[in-house]
Amino acid sequence: MRNRALLALAVLLALTASAQQTVNSSSSGSDGTTTTGNGTEREPLTSPRPKDFWDGDDPNLVNLVTHPFANKKYVQRQVTPIRDRVSELEQITSENSRLIKDVDTRAQQGIQLASEKTTLADQHASDAANRAQLAQTAANEASTRVSSAEQMVGNLDQYKGSSQTEIRFHPGQTELSKTAKDALDEMAVPLKDQRGYIIEVRGFAPGQGQTAVRSSQKMADSVVRYLVLTHSIPVYRIYTMSMGNNAVAGEDKHSSGARVEVSVLKNGQVASTQR
């Protein structure tokens, strides 16, 4: 009986010291208060009464057995606050773990979102760079074409006479004779698939004023019609002038009578460029 009582007393003393050390090891303020994880403060555990183990009783076996330290209710009163604090610490630890996990999850989501936005921005930048490169290439090609066109336009006034044919008409007639058609054929056949040339058609007719002009216009139209329909000469390459009975300035002599003068003018520089 005595050994059992001593053993129970030793276990109680060890449990009380361990629980007190656990509570004291939690975050305590300078005034002895305990701070929980959510920032609230609790009052510290009450310390034992400032007396010795026997609490004023005589140190004998009877008082040892009946001492309050050996009483179950006394032990419960001492252990219950410690157990409550331990449970509270466990709750705080669990809450902190949940909060840390929630913060970590949100941080990972933010990092993933930022990474996706960065990747998307890189793709947009790459697309913009490709478009800029294509635009620069198109601008260079357009500049080259403009330079070529300017060079061609600058050479348009470099046309020189290549050949000349005179078509004769009987007075009052505008129809082409076989001889006239043969002469036009001989002139137009070499122009097939050629570029860089123009054809000048000038009509002359005897008479006075507008009558001669209209007559020369009809003869010139018959020549143009034959060149376009028979030899597929583009209309934009043919320039027609109705001269009437007027002489061309700078030319000293002209054949008399109704006639049409057909001249082929070529631009050697444009023709060489086309080849």
Per-residue pLDDT reduced to its tens digit, 45-80: 555 554 555 555 566 666 666 665 556 766 677 778
pLDDT of residue 19: 45
CA atoms of 264 and 192, how far apart (whole Å): 13
Judge whether 183 and 167 are in contact, CB under 8 Å.
Answer: yes
The domain locations on the chain are 1-154, 159-274
Strand 259-266's sheet: what is its strand order?
Answer: 160-168, 259-266, 197-204, 238-244
Phi, psi of 29 (to 5 degrees): -85, 175
Per-residue pLDDT reduced to its tens digit, 104-155: 898 889 898 888 988 999 998 989 999 999 889 888 888 887 776 666 556 5
CA distance to 46, 49, 61, 66, 89, per residue, from 56 (Å): 20, 12, 14, 13, 36
237: CB partners within 8 A, 6+ apart: 197, 198, 199
pLDDT at 38 over 60: no
Judge whether 65 and 5 are in contact, CB under 8 Å.
Answer: yes
Mean pLDDT of 98-106: 90
- If you classify domain 159-274 with CATH, what class do you get? alpha beta
User: Sorting pLDDT into bands at 50, 70 and 90, what band is 223?
Assistant: very high
Question: Is 57 or 264 the better-scoring residue by pLDDT?
Answer: 264
User: Sorting pLDDT into bands at 50, 70 and 90, what band is 22?
Assistant: very low
Please name which of 199, 203, 204 lies closest in space to residue 184, comparing C-alpha atoms: 199
The length of the chain, given as a count of residues: 275
Q: How many alpha carbons fall within 13 Å on the CB side of residue 158?
A: 13
